[in-house]
Amino acid sequence: MMLQEFEGAILVERVNHLISKGHGSEQERRNWAKDIVKYLCSIGCINTPHWNRFLSIGCFEALPEVSPCESRILQKTIAQEYVEAVALLETNDIAIATHYRTLEEITEILILSRNFRELDEIEYQITGINYSRQESLGEEEANALRRIKLLLCASLYLRGKYVDCSSCFFRLLTNDWKMIDFLNQEPSKKFLTNSELLMMIQISTLLAIPLDNYDDFTNIEELIPFQKICPSLYHCLGLLINTSFGKFFQLWHGDINERCHQSFFLDQNWKPAQCMMSCLLY
């Protein structure tokens, strides 16, 4: 996991996940703890529930100097005071030109807090926005709206709603022809990576589609561009179509299992997915 790709609360949660789940060597965990403590001190946001764990693992002789915090929203989010963080965002003077970028920040916080009821409210707000209206917003706002839609799709995986997650995603592909190209580009400010999202879609689709329909799914002409950005899904489908269950489970319990356990997001609903797959194929 390339932790330097992240910042803010999601970096803190990813580091805590790796450390608390025992990933990496003892030295790697110590280095992660040291780096995140230095980072938190540098931005003046040391009020996190994970602080004592980081200090214990990092084995500090002396703490770095704590800088002043320049963002109350960041401070509240890192402290897991999510309601207050959302309230601060909502009470800011939000320009119409940046509405969806602010809504994206709120969506991220709601996902961190697993506030699915409020996420449903956001989904209701944006449901009626069609492609032409989305594109009229300008590139930055349109892309923020795309990221919100993908985050809402990912939230269905986090709830264990695998069928809904899969259908939501492919509906997005159908309604927005730019989505494939969009998924080929990682955003500069990362929260959920494209590879994590695509793994959610892979797991959800394997669980959502009946075994007898796998072959039909692989032959959907409109999804040929998607095959290029998610070849592992089609590799898994090919194994299952050919009843190569041993090879499939070698991959499922091997590389896929490792990637899910290491990911702060994927790990949240990986175990139920494993149980469902075992029930489907055994």
- pLDDT, tens only, 228-240: 999 999 999 999 9
The answer to whether residues 29 and 16 touch, using CB atoms and an 8 Å cutoff, is: no
- What per-residue confidence (pLDDT) applies to 177? 87
- What per-residue confidence (pLDDT) applies to 61? 83
Q: How far apart are CA 255 and CA 269, in angstroms?
A: 16
Residue 153 CB partners (closer than 8 Å, separation 6+)? 165, 168, 169, 172, 197, 200, 201
Q: How far apart are CA 81 and CA 73, in angstroms?
A: 9
Range 144-148, long-range pairs (CB < 8 A, 24+ positions): 144/100, 144/101, 144/103, 144/104, 145/100, 146/176, 146/178, 146/179, 146/182, 147/104, 147/187, 148/100, 148/103, 148/104, 148/107, 148/122
- What per-residue confidence (pLDDT) applies to 59? 86
Q: How far apart are CA 274 and CA 256, in angstroms?
A: 11
Exposed, middle or buried, 91 (CB in 10 Å: 0-12/13-18/19+)?
exposed
pLDDT per position as a tens digit, 190-213: 899 999 999 999 999 999 999 899
Exposed, middle or buried, 238 (CB in 10 Å: 0-12/13-18/19+)?
middle
pLDDT per position as a tens digit, 42-78: 999 999 999 999 999 998 888 889 999 989 999 999 9
- What per-residue confidence (pLDDT) applies to 217? 95
Question: Which of 47, 133, 60, 111 shows the shortest CA–CA distance to 265?
Answer: 111
- What per-residue confidence (pLDDT) applies to 147? 96
For 127-251, where are the alpha helices, taking DSSP H only?
A: 131-135, 139-158, 162-175, 179-183, 194-208, 214-218, 224-229, 231-241, 245-251
State yes or no: pLDDT of 185 exceeds 90: no
- What per-residue confidence (pLDDT) applies to 4? 85
Kindly report which listed range (148-157, 183-192, 252-261) carries the lowest average pLDDT score: 183-192
User: Above pLDDT 90, what percent of the chain?
Assistant: 80
Q: How far is CA 201 from CA 71, 83, 228, 249, in A?
A: 34, 29, 14, 18
- What per-residue confidence (pLDDT) applies to 116? 97
Helices then strands, each counted (H, E), the chain: 18, 0
Question: Which of 225, 232, 233 shows the shortest CA–CA distance to 209?
Answer: 233
What's the whole-number mean pLDDT along residues 107-122?
Answer: 97
Which residue bears the tokens 């002043």?
68
Residue 2 CB partners (closer than 8 Å, separation 6+)? none
- What is the value of pTM for the model shown? 0.94
- What per-residue confidence (pLDDT) applies to 1? 56
6: left (phi over 0), alpha (psi -120 to 50) or beta: beta
- What per-residue confidence (pLDDT) applies to 251? 97
What's the whole-number mean pLDDT along residues 95-99?
Answer: 77
- Look up residue 164 and give its two tokens: 């809904």
pLDDT per position as a tens digit, 129-184: 888 888 888 899 999 999 999 999 999 999 999 999 999 999 999 999 899 999 99
Mean pLDDT of the chain: 93
- What per-residue confidence (pLDDT) applies to 203? 98
User: Above pLDDT 70, what percent of the chain?
Assistant: 98
- What per-residue confidence (pLDDT) applies to 130? 83
State yes or no: pLDDT of 256 exceeds 80: yes
